[in-house]
Every structure is written in C-alpha cells, then in structure tokens.
Structure 1
Amino acid sequence: MKRFLLVLGLLAGAWGWYERQALADFPGILSAYSAKEYCSCRFVMGFDAPYCRGYVSQYLPLSRLDEDTPARVVTAVGLGVANTARWRGVREGCGLLP
C-alpha cells in the first residue's frame, strides 16, 4: 500500500510539473473571465446586476466583484489576482484592461 501511495504521489508531482504553466495561469483566468463576462452582461446585454452576478458565478468564488456603473468598468478579484474590464463602445463591447 505504501508503494502504491508513493507511486501515486510521484505521478501527481510529475503531472504538476508538466502542467506547471497552466497551473500558474489559472488564478488569472478566473478573475479575467469574470470581469469580462460581467461587463458584457451588464453593459452590452443590459441585464441587471443580480442576474449578471449569478451568470458569472463559478465553483471557485470571487473575493470581490466591483462595478463602477457611470464609468462602465468592472473589477473582479479571485485567487489573489485582480482583472478589470471596461465597456469600449457599441461595436467593440467589453475588453480587459492591460
């Protein structure tokens, strides 16, 4: 049984090393997706805030989702990474800010 757990641990470590870039990128993906989709839901589609909060909810919760309605800017923070999206216009919709 100990050998099995050791082999399983080594395989998990090898997989983690192989996927290290994807694992490192994941925290930023959660907040970027949420900021952009919430911005699009609110300012492109015109839905109300509670609906859009439900629309962007994930299995991993955001620690913060702020909306600046007059400026049409949304900031999402999840897993320690913040991303901001802004409405750019009727033809362009919403996009992430650098």
Structure 2
Amino acid sequence: MNARKAFIRRRPFSSLGILLLLILAGLIWNWRVQLQVFPSIISAYTAKEYCSCRFVMNNPADYCRSYVKQWLPSTLDEDALNKRITATGLGRESEARWEGPRQGCRLSSPVP
C-alpha cells in the first residue's frame, strides 16, 4: 500500500481539511479580481446613496444614515455647504457630490 492511501485511511479528517483548503485556495485565486474590488464598493455605495438621500430626496440626516447603514462599518462625513459626502469603509474612501437637480449625485474620482 502506498503512503498516500495509508495517510488518507489513518487521518480522514486531516485529508478532508487539506482538500477543503486546496479548494478554497483555488476559489480565492479564481475570484482574486472581484475580491480586490469589493472594499471599494462598500464606501462608494454608502457615499452615493447617502448623497442621493440627502440632497436629491431632501431627507433628514438621521433618516439617511439609517437608510445606508450596513453590516460592515463605515463612516460618513457630510459637507452640507458644498453638498459633498465622503464615506470610508474597509480602508477605502469614496466621495459623492451633488451635481444639480437634473443630474443628482455623482461619485467623484477616488480620494487619494
């Protein structure tokens, strides 16, 4: 009997754990681009939706904060004078600003 079959017979849970780790590593490698972009989505969504809630729909700040609240933590900074929102989440920062009554809110270039 070769060594590999003996290892699997003696340690079935270890073998299953190693197999699951290999499958997980393959999935992470396959989705690496999507996983890199995900943190930016959190802050961009928060900034854009909060801006639209506040300046397009003219809702109060408390309502808009509860509207964009997510399971993942994020912070919001509102510049009401310039109608600009900066949101930070998962280490990324995004900014949205009100363009006008017909254009609504737009995400700005990523903040350095």
For this structure pair, what is the TM-score category when the shorter chain's length is used for normalisation?
Answer: over 0.9
Q: What are the Cα deviations for residues 29-78 of structure 1, in whole angstroms up to 9, with x where unaligned?
A: 0000000000000000010111101111111110x210000100000000
Say which SS state the counterpart of residue 87 (structure 2) adopts.
strand
Instruction: Count how many residue pairs are aligned between Structure 1 and Structure 2.
Output: 97
Matching of residue 10 in structure 1 with residue 22 in structure 2: yes
Say which SS state the counterpart of residue 47 (structure 1) adopts.
coil
Matching of residue 35 in structure 1 with residue 47 in structure 2: yes
Question: TM-score if structure 1 supplies the norm length?
Answer: 0.97
Unaligned 5+ runs, structure 2? 1-12
Instruction: Select 1:44's aligned residue among 41, 53, 56.
Output: 56
CA distance in 1, matches of 2:46, 2:81: 19
Q: CA RMSD in A?
A: 0.5
Percentage of identical aligned residues: 49
| Map of 2:100 onto structure 1 | 89
State the one-letter code of the partner of 1:42. Answer: R
Detail structure 1 runs of 4+ shifted over 4 Å in the superposition. none
Unaligned 5+ runs, structure 1? none
Question: TM-score if structure 2 supplies the norm length?
Answer: 0.85
